[in-house]
Every structure is written in C-alpha cells, then in structure tokens.
Amino acid sequence: MNFTTDIFETFDKQWALLTAGNMEKFNTMTISWGGLGTIWGMPVATVYVRTSRYTHEFMDGSEYFTVSFYPEEKKKDLGVLGSKSGRDIDKMHFPGLTATEAGKSVSFEEAEVTLVCRKVFKQTLEPENMEGKIAEQFYSKDAVHDMYIGEVVDIIRR
Ligand SMILES: Cc1cc2nc3c(=O)[nH]c(=O)nc-3n(C[C@H](O)[C@H](O)[C@H](O)COP(=O)(O)O)c2cc1C
C-alpha cells in the first residue's frame, strides 16, 4: 500500500469525493478539507462533514467510506456534487461517474485513486474549543463539522 502526493494541494486544490453507503444506497459529496497521516499505529484519512449534509447520514450509518481523487476534467462534476445535495439530485447515477464497489464501500470507475477507509473515530468539532475567529467565521450561521477518522485499508488505482 503506497500513495505519494502533495497532500496540501490534493485536498485544497484538486478536491476529492467522499462516498459512504453501499451499491444499493449511497451518497457522495465533494470535499476539500481532509488529511492523511498516522494514529494508533494505523495509516488514516481524516475528513470533516457538516452535520447538515446528506452524506453525514451515510457516514454515521456506514462502517466504511471512501475518499477518491479525479483527473482535472472531472472538476466541473465535482463542483456540482459539492453544491447540490443528494436529497435533491440522484448522485447514484450522476452522468460521467460510474459507481463501483470499492472494498466494503463505493467509489467511481473514473477515480484515479480511491482510499478505502474503515471508520474508527468520530467527534464533533465544538466551536467553543476553537479559536474565536474560526468559530465565528465558520459556525455562526452554519452547522458544525463532525470529524471522522478512517483506517486506510486499501488504495485502489485505476
Ligand atoms: C470544493 C468544495 C469543497 C467542499 N468541502 C467540504 C468539506 O470538506 N466538508 C463539508 O462538509 N462540505 C464540503 N463541501 C460542501 C458539500 O460538498 C456540499 O454541501 C454538498 O452539496 C453536500 O452534498 P450532500 O447533501 O449530498 O451530502 C465542499 C464543497 C465544494 C464545492
């Protein structure tokens, strides 16, 4: 299992899809906040999901999730998946993205790299524990983020 990338660019500039559920029912959304690292002796991916997202329900209801990365030509699609909710559009049959089983979760055939993650931790990022200006900027109007840590159990390359 090996993955080399410029991790700051990869999340912040390239973006990713966070997907949870199974082939019968799943949801996906664009993320640009995230991290890769090590904790409890495991390689992990960390993602942050506002409790208002439809994907949040799937993150809570699933043991696994995937974080997948796409070529530049898919950026427009990622823009749509990051601005519309699966409550309002059918993200399971999104044009140009073919859902496929990825370990015990779901990704898309068009992904260059998919990290298959086993959820091992969840915690709410409490605004009261943040620097005041961050709490004010990000949470005075919007729902909080829950942080999920997943053990990276597989890396699938196209
Ligand atoms: C570039 C980009 C990055 C985003 N990153 C995050 C993120 O890290 N966490 C989050 O909760 N929402 C993030 N969003 C917002 C969700 O993708 C967006 O609200 C989406 O419509 C949620 O879909 P859902 O309701 O189907 O889950 C991002 C959106 C864009 C366009």
What is the tens place of the pLDDT at every residue in 31-81?
Answer: 999 999 999 999 999 999 999 999 999 999 999 999 999 999 999 999 999
Residue whose Cα lies nearest atom 13 of ligand 1: it is: 31
User: How many whole angstroms from 39 Cα to the centroid of ligand 1?
Assistant: 25
Span from the CA of 28 to the centroid of ligand 1 (angstroms)? 9
| Domain spans in the chain, listed from the N-terminal domain onward | 7-157
- Choose the residue to mutate in 14, 32, 84, 92 for probing ligand 1, maximizing ligand atoms within 8 Å of C-beta: 32
The Å distance, Cα 83 to ligand 1 centre, comes to 7
pLDDT attached to residue 114: 98
145-157: strand order across its sheet? 25-31, 16-22, 64-69, 113-124, 145-157, 42-50, 34-39
Residues facing 26 on adjacent strands: 21
Question: What's the whole-number mean pLDDT along residues 24-34?
Answer: 98
Q: 1 pLDDT band (50/70/90 cuts)?
A: confident
Cα 31 to ligand 1 centroid, rounded to whole Å: 5
For 7-157, CATH gives 2.30.110.10
Q: CA 92 from chain center: how many Å? A: 15
> Which tens digit of pLDDT belongs to each residue from 77-130?
999 999 999 999 999 999 999 999 999 999 999 999 999 999 999 999 999 999
Nearest to 127 by CA among 21, 50, 65: 50
